[in-house]
Copies of this chain bind each other. A is one copy, B any other.
Amino acid sequence: MKAEIIAVGTELLLGQIANTNAQIISNALQEIGIDVYFHTCVGDNQERLQSVLETGLRRSDIIVLTGGLGPTKDDLTKETVAACLNLSLKLDKYSLDKIKSYFAKRGRPFTENNYKQALVPEGAIAIENKKGTAPGILLNKDGKIIIMLPGPPREMEPMLRDEVIPYLSKMNSSTIFSKVLKFYGIGESALEEKLEDLISKQTNPTIAPLAKMGEVTIRLTAKAENRMAAEKIIKPVEDEIIKRVGKFLYGYDDDSVEDIVARLLAKFNKTIAIAESCTGGLMAHKLTNIPGISRFFERGVVSYSNRSKEDLLNVNPDTLEKFGAVSEETAKEMAQGIRISSGTDIGVSITGIAGPDGGTPTKPVGLVYIGYSDSNICFAEKHIFIGERADIKEQSVNSAFHLVRKMIQDLGD
């Protein structure tokens, strides 16, 4: 089956946002073996939307529209689809109740223009929006499937995952299955060299390396009649890759390094506390995105001032005076200090210069020390990261998680 994606919204054409919905939807469709041949963005304009929709209906079996489902007058998606297909719009009572209760829960008044959001074309099914008010719509008419989803990705994504993909999977008989292998500690070109013969003769599965933030991933993608057959095609290639570069492998698919760390903490029943300076809480934030982490994460400290390093982490004022806040010595004392004061098994620390200001010739922007402490060992690693403030924070945290991951894995060995 051939699909295309139509995003509706003038904000896309003004360049205010990128069309990330098209990427997310394309990805999800290709995983269930549906080919996407076109993406289109069109503004909140009925005439132009209608022309795009008519083209789509001629050339594709499935059309996924995003945006233009809200309560306002320039939200025109449903109206235009209904007009194109000669359908009338009817009030969906269940959706109206859901929208009303959404407003009630938030103590906000339900205004008249919200009725519009509960209208669906006759014969269509409304898809509940658990994150917002505008329901999605699924319409199967004259051999064409038309799916309308709201524009905000956080509303769109759960509806895509929970309703649309399961519905379309049933319609399509071949599967595309991907497996991602994640590596740390080896560069993209070095990895590619070791796998060159495999990559050059790839057909099914395809082998696609991708570098990002000091990590390299390899996506293996197989096409087969079902998932198990696809997995069987991937297996020998995966085994060969692991044979050659397995020592750099740290995870699969959506695993983030913090997921791996959380699993290792649980597996070895270890507790952790985090002391951050230049990363400003990002490491604690990432770790606490993981449900249930409160059993293993005791506390975090964002010691932005010298005084807070002394008060909360017991860093020696002489150390700060002699070596500075960004130094191996301070990183070590921070890691040791947070571990001892919190009574955890592991203490980890980050101190560095995230920029754009604050760099000196001997301590440039991007210089970061990552400290580690457990009951046996205390040390700090020196890094120099390149990029802007946000990149340096991100890379520092990523490296700190990888350091903790390796140390806990060694405990287990």
User: Are A299 and B281 also in contact (CB < 8 A) when A10-B208, A23-B17 are?
Assistant: no
CB of A210 within 8 Å of the partner chain: yes
- Interface pair A39/B13, CB less than 8 Å apart: yes
User: Are A299 and B288 also in contact (CB < 8 A) when A13-B37, A105-B386 are?
Assistant: no
A182 to B197, CA, bound (A): 55
Residue from the set A19, A110, A152, A219 with the largest chain B CB neighbour count within 10 Å = A19
B residues in contact with A190, CB < 8 Å: 108-109, 111
B residues in contact with A219, CB < 8 Å: 11, 16
CB of A142 within 8 Å of the partner chain: no
CB of A232 within 8 Å of the partner chain: no
- Interface pair B15/A18, CB less than 8 Å apart: no
The B-contacting residues of A in range 322-364, CB under 8 angstroms, are 341-343, 354-357
User: Are A72 and B192 also in contact (CB < 8 A) when A38-B42, A280-B288 are?
Assistant: yes
The B-contacting residues of A in range 93-109, CB under 8 angstroms, are 103, 105-106, 108-109
The chain B residue sitting closest to A283, CB to CB, is B281
CB of A311 within 8 Å of the partner chain: yes
A105 to B387, CA, bound (A): 12
A410 to B112, CA, bound (A): 34
User: Are A27 and B15 also in contact (CB < 8 A) when A281-B281, A281-B302 are?
Assistant: yes
User: Are A391 and B154 also in contact (CB < 8 A) when A14-B178, A299-B304, A299-B305 are?
Assistant: yes
B residues in contact with A30, CB < 8 Å: 14-15
Nearest chain B CB to A132 CB, angstrom units: 8
- Interface pair A390/B280, CB less than 8 Å apart: no
B residues in contact with A294, CB < 8 Å: 304-305
A355 to B389, CA, bound (A): 31
CB of A267 within 8 Å of the partner chain: no
- Interface pair B291/A301, CB less than 8 Å apart: no
B residues in contact with A40, CB < 8 Å: 38-41
Q: What are 8 A-B interface contacts by the 8 Å CB criterion?
A: A15-B25, A18-B22, A71-B188, A106-B187, A280-B284, A281-B300, A284-B302, A299-B312
The 3 tightest CB contacts between A and B, nearest first, are A280-B288, A15-B27, A281-B281
Residue positions of A touching B, CB distance < 8 A:
7, 10-20, 22-30, 35-45, 48, 52, 55, 70-74, 103, 105-106, 108-114, 131, 152, 154, 176, 178, 187-190, 192-193, 199-200, 208-212, 219, 221, 274, 276, 278-285, 287-289, 291-292, 294, 297-305, 307-308, 311-312, 341-343, 354-357, 384, 386-387, 389-391, 393
Other A-B contacts than A299-B303, A299-B312, 4 sampled, CB-CB below 8 A, are A12-B39, A15-B29, A44-B208, A300-B301
